[in-house]
Amino acid sequence: MELPEILKSADVARLFPVIAETGKEQRAASIFLSVLSAVPPFAHAILSHVGQRIGARTSINTYTEVVLQNESPQGRSNRPDGLIELSTGKRRWSALLEAKIGSSPLDQEQIERYLRLARDNSVDALITVSNQLAALPTHHPLDVPKALTRKSSLYHFSWTFILTEAVLLHEQSALDDAEQAFLLREFIRFFSHPSAGVSGFVSMPKEWGEAVDQIRAGARIKKGDIGQQIVSAWYQELRDLSLLMSRMVGCNISVKLSRAHAEDAEKRLRDDVDELCKSGKLEAHLHVPNTASDITVIADLNGRSLRASMRLDAPKDRKTTKARLNWLLRQIKNVDPEGIYVGIIWSSRATNSVHRLADLRENPDLVAAPSSKSEARAFEVTLTGSSAKRFIGRRTVIEELEHLVPTFYELVGQHLQAWKPTPPKPKHSVTADDENKSELKEKETASKSTGVAGNAHADLLEIPAFLKRTEG
């Protein structure tokens, strides 16, 4: 076996690795890497998130138990769990892989050491995999010095993300090769079993209950550790929720981030901690392709409530508020109204109106404009959580949220359609003009055939008798 030049020794990643019972991480890494090399569409689904395209000419080689040529200056033995090497023509890209499974967290010192190892061996990146979740591969769970990532990039995938990508690829029937499809099904089967050690986010930090109590008592959360711990946990839950929704719907659903927050994870954390301290709320937006709007998700610590909602612009071709409201109600006429509210956003500065969906169905006239100049500008349909008691629990709040949002999408979100203005009708008919031109052309042709020059003036006026030539 010919190894890449940067490797001193390594094994080819095996689908059935011979590893001791204690080597769960090495087993998981070997299976993942072997399927990655054997199923190019799967490799593309994963590695495209770090900017790598897998084309028809791309060769994918994966290794485990790797020992690199240039060891650390201290001479310490370093054995990352794996190496990925992509080659397309003369282009080469490589990444070290370090995997954790179960409840094992990433080790700060080890990751920094492997980044130095990648730099010293001209490896392009270090990819970490664990049950810790991140909004984007570039938003790493660990805060490493930026100097270590100047030459070798640092990325992070969660096992849940990898499993979700495999499920989506399988459900979309994207594999034409029967053997590749079989390997992917076995991959999903293995990592879906509890014994594999893959898990999602299940609990808010221990500071959660204290933070809820403080806000309920009128106090503000401090921006220190308690605020950062809660917001960081919120990020992990949002990522887990988006993956859960992706598997439910069958397409990629993501947490919507501003460009500034996508490019700078630290700024995102600072801004959201500030908002939590100021308002006592955690808020996010889930982007679902081809829906009427993003899904807004709010955890209100002051009200001890969870909410999921979507906002739609009111149809401008309906003149009255009642007509606009009926347009919305028709879209969700078969929805169970329990826990669902409709908010009316007015064009004026008047306070928004909120009504139970059940009440509006019985009597749409409940909605009254605050003034003669106000009209319904938009609607917000909201599903609220049912238990304030469960909101306080570290685990139960996660269970409530992961039930609420999928339920909202199934009941409401998939049925809502954004209003679109109808195309303008032509003021002058092109087809009618063409018909007129054809008639005129026929008359011109007839006049030429009778020897009359120019326009057929005889058709336009009566010529006096004394101007007509007569033979005498």
Write the pLDDT tens digit of every residue in 54-88: 999 999 999 998 999 887 655 556 889 999 999 99
Longest dimension (CA), the chain: 130
If one counts every other C-beta atom within 10 angstroms of the C-beta of residue 244, the result is: 18
pLDDT of residue 458: 47
Q: Establish if 421 belongs to a structural domain.
A: no
**Section 446-469 average pLDDT:** 51
pLDDT tens digits along 208-262: 988 898 888 877 777 677 889 999 999 999 999 999 999 999 999 999 999 999 9
Domain match, 138 and 281 both: no
Domain match, 192 and 213 both: no
Domain match, 358 and 458 both: no
Q: Establish if 349 belongs to a structural domain.
A: yes
Q: Establish if 312 belongs to a structural domain.
A: yes
Of 157, 177, 196, the last residue of a domain is 196
Q: Establish if 424 belongs to a structural domain.
A: no
> Across all residues in the chain, what is the average pLDDT?
88
pLDDT of residue 441: 67
Task: Give residue 462's pLDDT band: very low, low, confident or very high (50, 70, 90).
Answer: low
Of 415, 439, 456, the last residue of a domain is 415
Domain match, 348 and 226 both: yes
Domain match, 177 and 250 both: no
* Token digits of residue 119: 């730099």
Query: 3-class DSSP state for residue 332?
Result: coil
**Section 44-51 average pLDDT:** 96
Task: Give residue 472's pLDDT band: very low, low, confident or very high (50, 70, 90).
Answer: very low
Query: 3-class DSSP state for residue 14?
Result: coil
Domain match, 222 and 338 both: yes
E-assigned strand segments in 257-372: 281-287, 295-300, 305-313, 340-346, 353-356
Say which residue, 133 or 174, is predicted with more confidence.
Answer: 133
Domain match, 182 and 52 both: yes
Task: Give residue 181's pLDDT band: very low, low, confident or very high (50, 70, 90).
Answer: very high
- Structural domain count of the chain: 3
pLDDT of residue 1: 63
Say which residue, 308 or 317, is predicted with more confidence.
Answer: 308
Task: Give residue 452's pLDDT band: very low, low, confident or very high (50, 70, 90).
Answer: very low
Partners of 296 in the β-ladder: 285, 309
Of 171, 196, 221, the last residue of a domain is 196
**Section 20-39 average pLDDT:** 93
Q: Which residues constitute the domain of residue 45? A: 7-196
At 141, which amino acid appears?
A: P
Domain match, 192 and 228 both: no
pLDDT of residue 464: 57
If DSSP states are collapsed to H, E and C, what string results for 442-461? HHHHHHHHCCCCCCCHHHCC
Q: Which of 30-39, 110-119, 286-295, 379-388 has the lowest mean pLDDT?
A: 379-388
Query: Is-contact 33 43, C-beta < 8 A?
Result: no
Domain match, 251 and 394 both: yes
pLDDT of residue 74: 56
**Section 36-56 average pLDDT:** 95
The CA–CA distances, whole Å, from 168 to 1, 41, 131, 173 equal 34, 11, 19, 9
Task: Give residue 331's pLDDT band: very low, low, confident or very high (50, 70, 90).
Answer: very high
pLDDT tens digits along 368-387: 877 767 889 999 999 998 78
Domain match, 387 and 446 both: no
Q: Establish if 434 belongs to a structural domain.
A: yes
Q: Establish if 1 belongs to a structural domain.
A: no
Q: Establish if 116 belongs to a structural domain.
A: yes
Query: Is-contact 268 257, C-beta < 8 A?
Result: yes
The whole model's pTM is what?
0.84
pLDDT of residue 357: 96
Element (H, E) at 64: strand 59-68
Domain match, 269 and 337 both: yes
Share of the chain above pLDDT 70, in %: 89
In this predicted structure, the answer to whether residue 288 has a pLDDT above a threshold of 90 is: yes
Query: Is-contact 455 447, C-beta < 8 A?
Result: yes
Domain match, 131 and 28 both: yes
Q: Which of 12-21, 113-122, 300-309, 345-354 has the lowest mean pLDDT?
A: 345-354
In this predicted structure, the answer to whether residue 437 has a pLDDT above a threshold of 70 is: no
338 contacts: CB under 8 Å, gap ≥ 6? 358
Q: Establish if 246 belongs to a structural domain.
A: yes
In this predicted structure, the answer to whether residue 141 has a pLDDT above a threshold of 80 is: yes
* Token digits of residue 275: 């908002």
Share of the chain above pLDDT 90, in %: 69
